[in-house]
Structure 1
Amino acid sequence: MQALIVIGHHDPRSLTHAIAHSLAEGLASAGHAAELADLASEGFDPRFSLADHAVHRRLAAPPADVLLEQARIDRADALVLVYPIYWWSMPALLKGWVERVFSNGWAFDFDGQHTVKKLRGMKVHLVGIAGADTGTFERHGYAEAMRVQIEHGIFDYCGADVLSSTLLPDSEGPDAAQWLATARQLGRDLFLTARSQIA
């Protein structure tokens, strides 16, 4: 099976990139394949433009870069988003990718009154890398915020199934490298079980 791993970080030397590559290594060790979508190095433009608005209103076809991303998702058996937590959410690079790629007519159909979920059967895994420690996120209810904003607000709206949400905390601490082994295990297990966890 194949996973599309979308990396929402601009620095190829970042822990986020290292985690994404470790996840891909875990997939390979389990006999699966991974395609890495490095949005920053590929030059993906996250700005939702007038052209994207025309797509949303069903007045134009999606631009070529959006069609390319949709095709990558279509050929994958699972979608994995790997990203740092910025301001308690996704970075603008990844959020803009979602806004542009998960468009009306492809991810959902909205006719002004009714919404049809078009991504039923899509399997999604979320891996957020956090600077703060687990206690901070627990005190402020981040797990629930992530569930509402991302799992429900994006993927459930389109009919996709979020099979796991993993938060890797304290990424700026001295033990951050431990998350590479966790990521490899996530990759090995990706097509085995559904789980939701804070590591």
Structure 2
Amino acid sequence: MHALIVVAHPDRNSLTHAVAAQVAQGAAQAGQPGPQHTTEIADLAAEGFDPRFTAADLALHLQQAPAPADVAAEHARLDRADALVLVYPVYWWSFPALLKGWIDRVFTQGYAYEEGAGGKLAKKLGHLQVHLLGIGGADAGTYGRRGYAGAMKTQIEHGIFDYCGARVASSGLLLQSSTQEAVASHLRAAQALGRSLFVPSP
């Protein structure tokens, strides 16, 4: 089994990166990586991934041209993955632009889904299990009272991953991240998630 951990934050010293590292560490401890259990961290900011949806991306969507080279490389990474873990700061109650642009450009028509004749939809990522870890500063009450948690679930879990047939195996918000106690708790939760990645579903 191969896990792809995608992290979207420009600061390598951020809590977002620390959480991603703990997911990878937990996976290493549980899965005893070798030929059959591996993890990969995709640091979108450090790699310089361009989130802008350009004319080349539109041509791919319309199936008039092949995937741009950087998108094709991301497709190859996803093809190797059994589990996809997205670790990101919550910006304006959603993904940061870097991660949203990665979704826009990589989860493409013809690769992640196929719109057929008569509007029939083929979901093409059924092999992929998805884990979401959003990191935010507000408390859970704010997310509940304002409906932000439900809106994010609808937009991300159903609107993106269910549309492509990928199963969201876990979805968590690590909130109130400004205290040492919260940070320690978040890192423990991330490591626990990593330990569960290579455990077969019941």
The TM tier, using the shorter chain, reads over 0.9
2:55 corresponds in structure 1 to 50
2:34 corresponds in structure 1 to none
1:184 corresponds in structure 2 to 191
Contact 1:51 1:60 in 2 (8 A): yes
Structure 1 position 7 matched with structure 2 position 12: no
Aligned residues: 194
Match of 1:147 among 148, 153, 167: 153
What's the CA shift for 1:122?
Answer: 1.2
- Tell me how far apart the structure 2 counterparts of residues 125 and 182 of structure 1 sit (CA, whole Å): 13
Match of 2:163 among 157, 161, 176: 157
Structure 1 stretch displaced more, 64-73 or 135-144: 135-144
Contact 2:135 2:173 in 1 (8 A): yes
Structure 1 position 116 matched with structure 2 position 122: yes
More helix by share: 2
Runs (4+) off by over 6 Å: none
With normalisation by structure 2, the TM-score equals: 0.91
Identity level (%)? 59
* Paired amino acid for 2:140: T
Contact 1:108 1:115 in 2 (8 A): yes
Q: Deviations over 1:58-87 (max 9, x none)?
A: 101000100111111110110000001000
Residue ranges of structure 2 left out of the alignment (5+ in a row): 32-36
With normalisation by structure 1, the TM-score equals: 0.93
1:175 is paired with a residue whose SS is helix
1:30 is paired with a residue whose SS is helix
2:181 corresponds in structure 1 to 175
2:87 is paired with a residue whose SS is strand
1:70 corresponds in structure 2 to 75
Contact 1:24 1:33 in 2 (8 A): no
1:93 is paired with a residue whose SS is helix
- Tell me how far apart the structure 1 counterparts of residues 139 and 192 of structure 2 sit (CA, whole Å): 21
CA RMSD in angstroms, aligned pairs only: 1.4
What's the CA shift for 1:173?
Answer: 3.2
Q: Deviations over 1:35-74 (max 9, x none)?
A: 0000000000000001000100110100010011111111
